[in-house]
Amino acid sequence: MSRGCVANAFLLVMFTISALPSGHIASGDDYYDKVRHHPDVMNLEFEADDELNSTASRLTSPGEPITSSQAFMRGHGTFVEDEQVIASVAGTVERVNKDFCQGSSVDIHRYTPEVGDLVVGRITEASPRSSTAFRWKVDVNSRQDGLLMLSSVNLPGGVQRRKLESDELQMRTFFEESDLLVAEVQSLFSDGSISLHTRSLRYGKLRNGQLVQVPNGLVRRLKSHFFSLPCGVDLILGLNGYIWVSKHVKEINQVGEEGFDAEPIDTTTSRAIIRVCNIIRVLARHHVPLTDHLIEQAYEWVIDQNIEIVDILNEENGESLVANVPALIARR
């Protein structure tokens, strides 16, 4: 319930108590029953319940009336106009006591971060040189962009030292707009914003691959979210629903933000990357939770069936894949 709704509810209780005659303080329930059943008093509770049954689990659009403001108080995603609670976003109606809230359909698949989560993100903004806050904004599929401070990244070569003014002047040589990176959630703030860090040799800028976006609920928390498939493809399963599929890189070559440069990818590896991406899209379309073992088995099945890369996304082939992968059969 919003802070304003709590205040309104408190005032309603206060007015109800102060309206009781002094001679009936000890028998407030009797007084309430008499008033409640008086023929001139409208029974809002029963009418509100009937109205709730007609609005619950209903998808509403912005500007659509939800219920009467006389019976209910407005919540998140709503406003009051002409004694009606009106939806301000598209979504489903939720009721908390006498507070109506509107859940936005846009936020259904938004990622809710937790400290320690591994995420894949895209740089949306680098702070200007005139700014005193030297940071990047990162799209992590959440309600707000994540914040990556200059002090929270490794310097080229994995060096960790105090950041100098020269580092501040060349922030865009580390990350610039549209760059992809893998990071860890460092902390959460009271306003819902997220602090990220890349102080690990496995974190930092991403190259030589392709990004696939799936509903974040399909990526479970695992011991590790870095995987190497036998087909020569590396996977990073971001808990925010962003998955990075790339050419395999040996760990000895992963040495920080500038550990390896983008390089030409041979045809075999390129086809393997695209094939894995299409398999992930098919599994996500069928709402299958993703693991490296499952993706590996699905890849082997596609190869055994001689299915062309472009045909993996066909509805018939997708249903056959989900029906025949051993890991999925074992779940049934």
Residue 244, token pair as written in the block: 């990075």
Domain count for the chain, please give it.
Answer: 1
Question: Is the residue at 96 inside a domain?
Answer: yes
Helix (H) or strand (E) holding 49: helix 44-55
> For residue 143, what pLDDT band results from cuts at 50, 70 and 90?
confident
Question: Is the residue at 75 inside a domain?
Answer: yes
Interatomic CA distance for residues 327 and 155, integer angstroms: 41
DSSP 19: T
pLDDT in tens, 159-185: 665 666 667 777 777 888 989 999 999
Sign of the CA dihedral with 259 first, then 264, 266, and 270 last: positive
Give the pLDDT mean for 102-112. 60
Interatomic CA distance for residues 237 and 112, integer angstroms: 16
> For residue 290, what pLDDT band results from cuts at 50, 70 and 90?
very high
DSSP 153: S
Question: Is the residue at 241 inside a domain?
Answer: no
> Is the pLDDT confidence value at 139 over 90?
yes
Q: What is the pLDDT of residue 161?
A: 59
Q: What is the pLDDT of residue 76?
A: 65
Q: What is the CATH number of the domain that holds 21?
A: 2.40.50.100
In sequence order, which ranges of the chain are alpha helices (DSSP H)? Answer: 3-18, 28-36, 44-55, 165-169, 171-174, 267-285, 292-304, 315-324, 326-331
Question: Is the residue at 59 inside a domain?
Answer: yes
Give one DSSP letter per residue of 223-262, joined into a string.
S--EEEETTTEEEEE-TTSEEEEEE---GGG--STTSS--
Domain span at residue 35?
Answer: 3-107
